[in-house]
């Protein structure tokens, strides 16, 4: 899962850069996915280099927590931004909305993959 983490880290960095450039480089908050990607990348790299299985397990649990926070943050902000804009009679900023939804989807997929991996490892140990 550590290698998969690096792939998702890269995707988050690309998403953040695309969102930032898509908003005309006006909104620094569009770079939030970059920070999630950097955190995932750092702990994913450390998990690849971990000497012990316990250390790798701890680092991957840190990563899945980062992914869960990213999922919740992206989903909540997407809903909040959409509701806020429509309640004021405006159309939501579609680039920002797409970025938030994409972040939530990517992080949701990542968390799901991590949970499946954790379950598979536990079952393999018990067998």
pLDDT of residue 23: 81
pLDDT of residue 127: 79
* Rounded Cα–Cα distance for residues 63 and 36 (Å): 10
State which residues form the domain around 104: 2-126
Q: Which residue has the tokens 């943050």?
A: 73
Number of compact structural domains in the chain: 1
Share of the chain above pLDDT 70, in %: 100
* Rounded Cα–Cα distance for residues 108 and 92 (Å): 23
* Rounded Cα–Cα distance for residues 112 and 20 (Å): 27
pLDDT of residue 105: 98
- Which CATH number covers residue 21? 1.20.1440
Q: Model confidence over 24-76: pLDDT tens digits? A: 878 888 999 999 999 999 999 999 999 999 999 999 999 999 999 999 999 99
3-state class of 92 per DSSP?
A: coil
CB 91 within 8 A of CB 85: yes
Q: Which residue has the tokens 């953040």?
A: 16
């Amino acid at each position: 899962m550590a290698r998969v983490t690096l792939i998702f880290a890269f995707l988050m960095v690309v998403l953040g850069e695309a969102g930032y450039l898509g908003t005309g480089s006006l909104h620094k908050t569009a770079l939030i996915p970059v920070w999630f990607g950097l955190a995932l990348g750092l702990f994913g790299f450390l998990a690849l280099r971990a000497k012990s299985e316990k250390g790798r397990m701890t680092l991957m649990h840190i990563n899945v927590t980062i992914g869960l926070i990213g999922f919740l943050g992206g989903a909540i902000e997407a809903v909040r931004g959409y509701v806020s804009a429509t309640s004021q009679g405006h159309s939501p900023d579609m680039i920002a909305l797409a970025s938030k939804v994409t972040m939530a989807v990517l992080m949701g997929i990542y968390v799901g993959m991590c949970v499946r991996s954790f379950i598979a490892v536990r079952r393999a140990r018990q067998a």
